[in-house]
Structure 1
């Protein structure tokens, strides 16, 4: 086991706090990792005399809003330590703390020390940080060295920041999950956070109001209130309708069809031929309700995404969704494609209509790097090509050709 830094008898001096600072270190972690984190903090406080560490369960002001507590404590700390694990990634509060800490580091050059406790899928807005590994035999010594170093010298000693990749048309910037994804029923439409612009988008979208309005359009899609949203209700109602249909089939036998008058027999047979298929079709439709609802909801979401893209397109940003709880943001240069539309009569209106109808599916194609087939002659006519796919005007042209072909040759 690695020896403590202060075991040689030499007292280790930590940087003094400035008047605006209350803590040397703010620690953000998941409650699942509390035992490991408390052990690390306890060892640090024992080895570093005077070290003041902010832990939410110990130092947050009771009765205050959680967001206010987090923001204030991060701003009052010299450094921020993130204990990364899959539980951390899945915790909304931990991710919000990470966002606030990175926001503080951008404004005040506050150092952020990420520690990888267990392998996990690090969120995109944290992926530019290179982390310390808890499994490293020299991990504790490295953490102490970083804590002892003044902030103005720490920029050179922190794990290297991964340089942001240069922007290019067709670059996927962010995949955003809804805030309630873990507890989201299959029938419910996700809600997306509008607290602030995510870090990967700030390079192209500086105005938070544009982002808030664009995402707010999607949050306006309502989930169904029908009892059929529950599988048990659908199955129960469908079984009942099927039983009614079967009962109608046996109704003539029960009522003694041969013993009745011709007029009554005609009435019973006619009613049976009408109501029996009707209840059977109603039962099938009840079981298929969720499929129809999902298709209808996705169509509404696609239209809402198109409306949002009218706000985002001037910033070379497009949004796409292929599920009810996930958004894709891509950087796309649309200037040349817009000029192609302007060559036609009412070109501006056509460009807006194309954004409304096709920008969602196009953004998904860019995010997944999967485009519909396009012949080389058509590809060569494009004004500006993406490196691995079609530009927006080419995509719209291909979609219109495909739809016209389906109308001429229906299956």
Structure 2
């Protein structure tokens, strides 16, 4: 805290009048006033814009806000239930007016009071007003250029259209450090902050996670290392025993009857089969058990994840499973549903069933592709409903085409 006054205040650009515009609800004005006083006392040359002092009389609130955002380097939003109900609603209701100027301005979200984080900010790591180092962190963001600030703390505005296909959350299994062949288990409560803007009913999230967690672990005794070692020893002893027995009986047969080749082949063939084929097969089975089990568990996890997407798709969320992680992505599916209805008939049971089958078969893989920004092919047939990438109906068509 003692070193903060030594941080230089950045110069204003030729089109900038302020370093930061603070947007907040009138219900939080006392806290904001205290913050502004502290900032201006610590950094006298820092130019702060806020509506109670700097809005131009005679202009509408919208015009004032647009002008202040355009003339400021950064926009600081003080999040609270009052802000979401009033000021953020004003942003959302007039996106066409705010979008252009906010696309070129960085946003700094501050969580003053717990509230649902607006969708366009839900992927950000906000600054917590209750953090002991809150003021230091805020100063670091405000006094450094946008290029020097971590993207998780500072980002440009994104409209819902641009936001479609973006990753909201990567959730790691609670048993990540367990055996690789165990089914992944994920926490179902509480709803992560990154999803609260979309998940109004916590039960939806909980039910979805419970579906994904409903994968039974393998019951084979081979899963235990001690059992594998014992079986390998037993099979090795059996192989040695059969080999010695085969040699001993062969020698005995040779001494009894000079027609050794014919007699030995007829009498000792079963022993040779056991020694040469069955025992090595069991060795291979033990050696490959882990790999086959991991593949089987992964397929079952993907299947359950697709089943969970039947719930989550109604709130424009899809989840993908890969390597003990869940990738939650926000994706607008309405246009893709319309394509299914056009293809199979409006208000048709067939269209609904085909949509559910597609979600059940391909939604997990599709969500992973969105999260990784990598698709198996870029040659999807138009039209597409996703600005950057392949939409779900295109992906489904690609999978069906490749299967044929």
Give the TM-score normalised by the residue count of structure 2. Answer: 0.58
Residue 355 of structure 2 corresponds to 351
Matches within 5 A, 1:60-71: none
1:16-69 deviation per Cα after TM superposition (whole angstroms, max 9, x unaligned): xxxxxxxxxxxxxxxxxxxxxxxxxxxxxxxxxxxxxxxxxxxxxxxxxxxxxx
Residue 308 of structure 2 corresponds to 308
Residue 56 of structure 1 corresponds to none
Structure 1 residues 373, 142: CA separation in 2 closer, same or farther (over 3 Å shift)?
closer
Q: 2-side partners of 1:133 and 1:317: how far apart?
A: 30
The offset of 1:170, in angstroms, is 0.6
Residue 330 of structure 2 corresponds to 331
The offset of 1:133, in angstroms, is 11
Q: 2-side partners of 1:130 and 1:107: how far apart?
A: 12
The offset of 1:246, in angstroms, is 4.6
1:275-312 deviation per Cα after TM superposition (whole angstroms, max 9, x unaligned): 53011111111111000100111111111011100001
**Which runs of 5 or more structure 1 residues have no equivalent in the other structure?**
4-101, 110-123, 146-159, 405-411
Of 363, 367, 378, which residue of structure 2 is paired with 1:363? Answer: 367
Are positions 1:192 and 2:186 aligned together?
Answer: yes
The offset of 1:317, in angstroms, is 0.5
Give secondary structure in 1 for the equivalent of 2:167: strand
CA contact (8 A) 1:228 1:234 kept: yes
Of 157, 160, 167, which residue of structure 2 is paired with 1:172? Answer: 167
Residue 216 of structure 2 corresponds to 222
Residue 281 of structure 2 corresponds to 281
Q: 1-side partners of 2:175 and 2:157: how far apart?
A: 29
Q: 1-side partners of 2:158 and 2:229: how far apart?
A: 51
1:79-109 deviation per Cα after TM superposition (whole angstroms, max 9, x unaligned): xxxxxxxxxxxxxxxxxxxxxxx99931599
Are positions 1:253 and 2:261 aligned together?
Answer: no
Farther off after superposition, 162-171 or 307-316: 162-171
Of 206, 209, 217, which residue of structure 2 is paired with 1:212? Answer: 206
CA contact (8 A) 1:319 1:329 kept: yes
The offset of 1:233, in angstroms, is 3.3
Q: What is the count of residue pairs matched by the alignment?
A: 269
Residue 376 of structure 2 corresponds to 372
The offset of 1:169, in angstroms, is 1.5
Structure 1 residues 300, 194: CA separation in 2 closer, same or farther (over 3 Å shift)?
same
Give secondary structure in 2 for the equivalent of 1:179: coil
Give secondary structure in 2 for the equivalent of 1:284: helix
The offset of 1:176, in angstroms, is 0.4
The offset of 1:401, in angstroms, is 1.8
**Which runs of 5 or more structure 2 residues have no equivalent in the other structure?**
4-109, 140-152
The offset of 1:396, in angstroms, is 1.2
CA contact (8 A) 2:320 2:364 kept: yes
Q: 1-side partners of 2:234 and 2:303: how far apart?
A: 37
Residue 105 of structure 1 corresponds to 113
1:306-354 deviation per Cα after TM superposition (whole angstroms, max 9, x unaligned): 110000111111010111x211100111111112222226121111111
Matches within 5 A, 1:15-26: none
Structure 1 residues 198, 140: CA separation in 2 closer, same or farther (over 3 Å shift)?
closer
Residue 129 of structure 1 corresponds to 127
The offset of 1:251, in angstroms, is 2.8
CA contact (8 A) 1:379 1:390 kept: no
The offset of 1:186, in angstroms, is 2.0
The offset of 1:402, in angstroms, is 1.7
Residue 65 of structure 2 corresponds to none
Q: 2-side partners of 1:315 and 1:350: how far apart?
A: 19
Give secondary structure in 2 for the equivalent of 1:106: coil
Residue 32 of structure 2 corresponds to none
The offset of 1:141, in angstroms, is 9.2
CA contact (8 A) 1:307 1:356 kept: yes
Give secondary structure in 1 for the equivalent of 2:375: coil
Q: 1-side partners of 2:234 and 2:184: how far apart?
A: 32
The offset of 1:188, in angstroms, is 2.0
Give the TM-score normalised by the residue count of structure 1. Answer: 0.57
